[in-house]
Amino acid sequence: LKDQKPLIPSDHVKIERQGDQCILTIPDVKEEDMGSYTLSVKNKVGKVESTSNVKVTAPLKFSNQLNDL
Contacts 24+ apart (CB under 8 A), 34-42: 35/2, 35/3, 36/2, 36/3, 36/4, 37/1, 37/2, 37/7, 38/1, 38/2, 38/4, 40/1
Is the pLDDT at 48 greater than 90, yes or no? Answer: yes
* Residue 1 pLDDT class (50, 70, 90 cuts): very high
Q: Tell me the pLDDT of the chain averaged across its residues.
A: 90
DSSP type of residue 4: T
Q: Quick check: 49 pLDDT over 90?
A: yes
